[in-house]
Amino acid sequence: MRFTRTTAVTTAAIATLTLAACSSDAEGDATSATPAATSASTSPTATAATDLAGQSVTVVTHDSFNVPDNVLAAFEEETGLTVEFAAPGDAGSLVNQLILTKDAPLGDVVYGVDNTFASRALDEGIFADYTSEVPAAADAAAYAVPGSQALTAIDYSDVCLNYDLATFEGDLEVPQGLSDLTDPAYQGMLSVTNPATSSPGLAFVLATVAEFGDDWEQFWTDLAANDVRVTSSWSETYYTDFAAPNYGGDYPLVLSYASSPPYELIDGEPTTAALLDTCFRQVEYAGVLNGAANPEAAQAVVDWMLSDDFQAALPENMYVYPVSEQIEVPAEWAEYAPLAEEPHSLSPEDISAGRDEWIETWNAIVLG
């Protein structure tokens, strides 16, 4: 999830990522990858034989990544590693860059590939197999991509439409589900993100496929006729377009997350809410890049992301649910950020088989 996050990633490298994209992707070739990066292995934890002190590791992530400075500093002190970050864009852009740069990886380890794009990344051979053995790995296994040891689940969330409460205080009723959005009463009120560049955008398209089946194209045809707005990223839709008091945009309905509303309280009162009947369950993963310059440090980062410190920081910094069952989410979430009881979902096989065609069809319908 993404909300009032001050991005903690180092973005200076972004300007060079597009240039690097012409020659690389995340799959590393077999000749350059080290054995540790290309074969299944187990966690190097604190008892690892290799001393990581004085080494560096680069984490490639999306532009909404945010971890508290003290959590990062504690990891660097414990391991002796220097952690650097590169953020080429939203999750969809992240995967695209990983594919383009797989022969010259942008870093050592990736965080932020989600279940809407995971099969594409795996098909490209971007990641090396790795099985963590830290305690929370058992919880993470419940969200594993079937048949793969290359990605480790770190968090999950529900991608849902959010709405501005004030807009619907009068006679205009809150839309109750996806079907309502094509009603002329909501013309020009909805902002969503492009599924080709944004994982929430793709998750929303998948929700419509899951709900409408073969009629999903007609839904988007009707939504386009109802003046849906499309942006390239979650941050633009949320921070710029949302009509919520904290942002003052022009769109009272925006694509975000079920856990966003608690962070929009003003004087203890909610100003937004999520439409739980529009949700798609999203899982975010971490993985060691094939061809990583420092695969053992990359494995240590995956372990760190399953640690209690990192998992406990997720809700209030990235607005997602930790996979670790040992971590309690903020009390406000029970009231203002409940998960959908029956989120839309599609199998990894269905997503893999249909994703590219769905995006292409969506583009033709909505963007022309």
Residues 248-290 pLDDT 10s: 999 999 999 999 999 999 999 999 999 999 999 999 999 999 9
* Predicted confidence (pLDDT) at residue 244 exceeds the cutoff of 70: yes
Q: Using 50, 70 and 90 to split pLDDT, how confident is the model at 243?
A: very high
> What angle do helix axes 91-100 and 14-21 make, rounded to 10 degrees?
50
pLDDT at residue 221, as a whole number = 98
List the structure tokens of 227: 């003046």
pLDDT at residue 86, as a whole number = 92
Instruction: Quote the pTM value.
Output: 0.79
Q: CB-based contacts of 359: which residues, under 8 Å, 6+ apart?
A: 195, 196, 202, 205
* Predicted confidence (pLDDT) at residue 52 exceeds the cutoff of 70: yes
Domains of the chain with CATH codes: 14-157+282-331 (3.40.190.10), 158-281+339-367 (3.40.190.10)
Q: Using 50, 70 and 90 to split pLDDT, how confident is the model at 22?
A: very low
Q: Using 50, 70 and 90 to split pLDDT, how confident is the model at 50?
A: low
pLDDT (tens digit, 9 = 90+) per residue, 90-145?
Answer: 777 788 899 999 999 999 999 999 998 898 899 999 999 999 999 999 999 999 99
Mean pLDDT estimate for the chain: 87
Whole-angstrom Cα distance, residue 202 to residue 221?
16
**DSSP labels, 158-221:** EEEEEEEGGGGSSSPPPP-SGGGGGSGGGTT-EEEE-TTT-HHHHHHHHHHHHHHGGGHHHHHH
Q: CB-based contacts of 195: which residues, under 8 Å, 6+ apart?
A: 92, 201, 202, 204, 205, 358, 359, 362
Residue 315 parent element (H or E): helix 308-318
Whole-angstrom Cα distance, residue 132 to residue 143?
14
Q: Which of 23-27, 65-69, 154-158, 238-242 shows the lowest mean pLDDT across its residues?
A: 23-27
Whether 259 contacts 319, CB under 8 Å: yes
Q: Which of 64-68, 219-223, 361-365 shows the lowest mean pLDDT across its residues?
A: 64-68
User: 3-state DSSP call for residue 8?
Assistant: coil
List the structure tokens of 81: 């590693």
334 vs 163, residue with greater confidence: 163
Whole-angstrom Cα distance, residue 256 to residue 279?
10
pLDDT at residue 334, as a whole number = 85
Average pLDDT of 1-19? 32
Q: Which residues partner with 365 through β-bridges?
A: none
